[in-house]
Amino acid sequence: MTNASDLPSVHQNNDADAGSTPPKADEALPGESMVLPEEPIVTIEASKSWVSLQLRDLWNYRELLYFLTWRDVKVRYKQTALGVAWAIIQPLFTMLIFTLFFCKLAGIEAQTGGIPYPIFAYAGLLPWMFFSNAVTSSGNSLVGSAHLITKVYFPRMMIPGSAVAAGLIDFAIAFVILVFLMFYYGVAPAWTALMLPVLVMLTVVLALGMGMWLSALNVKYRDVRFALPFLLQLWMFVSPLIYPSSFVPEKYRWLLMLNPLTGIIEGYRSSLFGKPFNWTALGVSTLIGLLLLIYSSYSFKRMERSFADIV
């Protein structure tokens, strides 16, 4: 961590990292002994056509990510009668409805590979709920933080980033219910459950990629706010949430694979219930997720300049 005494040696003068030292000081230096660095700590000018991600800037402000996430979590359930229970109610009731309406439909239950339908559905709903909530809240996060954007500097990516991170808390709570459900139905977790952290990471990458890009677009085009719920609803039906991917005729299954969530949702089930992984689908999810994250990071950075002026 930078502190005042080693300040003169911390000059990042390359443009890529210009302006990356956050103002966190220890005691102020007395006037006489103040030694100014040779190169400016921050250079302010119109950015060039190319953009840099300023990763060091992000790293320096990592504590802010923690505080913003903590705020989101803390505030979300304040003044709600049921509080954190909402994190459970949402997937649990969706699962019940799915079970009620789709379980016997068209022989879905026969295709879940011996997994009781409620757990099958819940295991798919976990990543989906996290994904859709994270994308929704991060997509609207920048517009909702206009008062911060126009008043203080910090890496703007922290805002959609913290919205996604806050979703992880809900995910963790909902996950506990899954453990109970599996216990109830007598489904033992397989050793492949060790893959779960990787799958969670992949979901975060995808959610961040979508959320960040949409949040930046939302600043300029408020259409995003209206399009988003609609888009997510459609997305839900083309993801193997209610049905397993084997439910789709072989001929069209490749189409389903193009949806990056297919690999992820199927991956959760495979790892939890010890079924073979569909590595092709997972590969597609990883590739799309990473490409999307890289694209949206650069796109975000490019749009970031005008946030304060138009938000």
Q: How far is CA 95 from CA 92, 107, 178, 209, in A?
A: 5, 17, 11, 27
Site map (CB under 8 A) of another protein, residues 31-60, x = contact: xx-x-xx--xxxxxxxx-------------
* Structure tokens belonging to residue 129: 């709920």
| Residue number with CB closer to another protein (31 or 186) | 31
| Residue number with CB closer to another protein (29 or 103) | 29
Q: Which of 5, 14, 25, 201 binds another protein (CB under 8 A)?
A: 25
| Residue number with CB closer to another protein (79 or 237) | 79
> Contact region for another protein (CB under 8 A) — 64-72, 94-102, 204-212, 289-297?
64-72
294 interacts with another protein by CB under 8 A: no
| Residue number with CB closer to another protein (74 or 104) | 74
Q: Which of 15, 17, 21, 246 binds another protein (CB under 8 A)?
A: 21
SS (H, E, C) 69-89: HHHHHHHHCCCCCCHHHHHHH
CB 238 within 8 A of CB 256: yes
Q: Which of 14, 93, 183, 222 binds another protein (CB under 8 A)?
A: 222
Residues in Cβ contact with 228 at an 8 Å cutoff, skipping those fewer than 6 apart: 135, 136, 139, 140, 214
* Structure tokens belonging to residue 248: 């789709």
248 interacts with another protein by CB under 8 A: no
> Contact region for another protein (CB under 8 A) — 73-81, 114-122, 173-181, 274-282?
73-81
CB 143 within 8 A of CB 225: yes
- Estimate the crossing angle of helix 158-184 against helix 196-220, to 10 degrees: 140
63 interacts with another protein by CB under 8 A: yes
Per-residue buried b or exposed e for 205-236, using 16+ beta carbons within 10 Å of the residue's own CB: bbbbbbbbbbbbbbbeeeebeeebeebbeebb
* Structure tokens belonging to residue 62: 């990592």
> Contact region for another protein (CB under 8 A) — 15-23, 95-103, 121-129, 243-251?
15-23
Three-state SS for 51? coil
The Cα–Cα gap between 137 and 167 comes to: 9
186 interacts with another protein by CB under 8 A: no
With contacts defined by CB under 8 A, how many residues of the chain interact with another protein? 57
Smallest gap from Cβ 159 to another protein, in A, equals: 11
30 interacts with another protein by CB under 8 A: yes
Site map (CB under 8 A) of another protein, residues 134-153, x = contact: -------------xxxxxxx
309 interacts with another protein by CB under 8 A: yes
Q: Which of 27, 50, 100, 188 binds another protein (CB under 8 A)?
A: 27
Question: Token pair 């060039």 is at which residue?
Answer: 48
Nearest to 259 by CA among 188, 212, 210: 210
Residues lying near another protein in the complex (CB under 8 A) are found at 1, 4, 7, 19, 21-32, 34, 36-37, 40-47, 61, 63-64, 66-68, 70-71, 74-75, 78-79, 147-154, 219-223, 305, 308-311
